[in-house]
Amino acid sequence: MLLEKEFTEIERFIEEYNKQNIKISAKGIDWHLDHSLKVIIGVCGQLKKSDPSAYRWKFNAIRVFVYTFKFFPRGKGKSPKAVLPPENILKQDLKNQLFKAKQDINSIMSLPAKSHFKHPYFGFLNLKKTKIFLKLHTLHHLKICRDIIK
């Protein structure tokens, strides 16, 4: 399953969701997990609603850079409001979102290849590029969580 290892790691981090290290990130583990899960759920929803016949590929230099080097620079992006965590994040909410994210990932696996969503920096991503984005984005936030725990 896509993101299987990442979901296992998220599950472990949920137990330490209240940890923070402002030398690493202004946000705590709870924020990074909540945001990552909201992105997965939101993107999967957009893929399911998309019209594959409307997909058009377009060159995007930022996307090429990130996908080539498989890394997001820290502190450079700004999250859309739809995927920003609430002020108070509850452990049970993280568990519920993890459950939904797993279901949603399974549900996109059989979508048409030209299912897509529009990323604010990368433009339109088809199903294959979206799967890569979800992996890279989740790993980015998990790396921050790992650094917070150190």
pLDDT of residue 123 exceeding 90: yes
Tell me which residue range forms the domain holding 57.
4-149
Q: Tell me the percentage of the chain whose pLDDT exceeds 70.
A: 100
Query: What count of other Cβ atoms lies within 10 Å of the Cβ of residue 52?
Result: 14
Question: Tell me, what's the pLDDT at 73?
Answer: 87
pLDDT in tens, 53-96: 999 999 999 999 999 999 998 988 889 999 999 999 999 999 99
Number of domains in the chain: 1
DSSP state of 118: E
pTM: 0.97
Helix ranges, the chain (H): 4-14, 29-49, 61-69, 91-108, 127-149
Q: Tell me the percentage of the chain whose pLDDT exceeds 90.
A: 95
The region, left, alpha or beta by phi > 0 then psi within -120 to 50, assigned to residue 56 is beta
